[in-house]
Amino acid sequence: MNRKALITGFDPFGHDKINPSWEAVSQLPDRIDDLQIVKLKLPTVFRDSLVLLENAIDKHNPSIVLSVGVAGGRSSISLERIAMNLDDARIPDNSGKSPIDEKIDPNGPDAYFSSLPIKGIVFELKKNLIPASVSNTAGTFVCNHVMYGLLNTLKKNNSSAKGGFVHIPYLPCQVTDRSQLPSMSLEIVVDALKIIIEVSSKLDRDIVLSAGKIH
């Protein structure tokens, strides 16, 4: 059987001219191990992003769905643990929408946990000398919206696919004049995404590893 992994990145938003998530996703190979890699660019737009994602899930029936977004200011590859049923925009999305305290799905649960083996992924990334961590919030903008929507869709489809979200840092070229901000090279981010896909494919049960935070 042809197993597929659907990997998404976003278009640029706010003041940024590029979005490293799509830069990295578009550089992935077309196959990793026995998986066919399907790459999809999502608009940084509430709702529209989810319509595209849902259509791609219907079309490809992937066994892994991984969405990738940039989190400017973060210093490591961060594996999101949880998505909440809430939109609260600090800036307008790329269509000008700024929902405030709106539910993503009025009938959906308050939150979903990632079904990717996030601890196993963090372990493997660090083993490969790539800074990585578990994050307990994907924010309340379009990335959280997409993570919630993707897990909600898999649940509604009764799908056994694993799904989740990863935030990546800025690229070095985005912080040349803001050098107090952390960044990570495109090469390392692409390597990290390959490792995330490999571990997600191989590991059916997550490992036990302390990755919590007090604050």
Site for ligand PCA contains 170 (CB under 6 A) = no
Site for ligand PCA contains 28 (CB under 6 A) = no
What is the distance between the terminal CA atoms of the chain, rounded to a whole angstrom?
A: 44
DSSP 137-162: ---SSHHHHHHHHHHHHHHHTT---E
Q: Which of 23, 124, 145, 167 is catalytic?
A: 167
Q: Which of 5, 8, 10, 163 binds ligand PCA (CB under 6 A)?
A: 10
Site size for ligand PCA (CB under 6 A):
12
Sign of the Cα pseudo-torsion (127, 7, 166, 207, in order): negative
In the bound state with ligand PCA, the residue whose beta carbon lies nearer, of 117 and 139, is 139
Give, as ranges, the residues between 110 and 149 that touch ligand PCA (CB under 6 A).
139, 141-143
* Region of 83 on the Ramachandran plot (φ > 0 left; ψ -120 to 50 alpha; else beta): beta
In the annotation, is 80 catalytic?
yes
In the annotation, is 198 catalytic?
no
Q: Which of 23, 124, 143, 145 is catalytic?
A: 143
In the annotation, is 15 catalytic?
no
In the bound state with ligand PCA, the residue whose beta carbon lies nearer, of 25 and 132, is 25
Site for ligand PCA contains 200 (CB under 6 A) = no
| Cβ count within 10 A of residue 89 | 18
- Tokens encoding 83: 């998505």
Site for ligand PCA contains 19 (CB under 6 A) = yes
Site for ligand PCA contains 71 (CB under 6 A) = yes
CA atoms within 13 A on the CB side of 43: 14
Site for ligand PCA contains 76 (CB under 6 A) = no
Site for ligand PCA contains 44 (CB under 6 A) = yes
DSSP state of 173: G
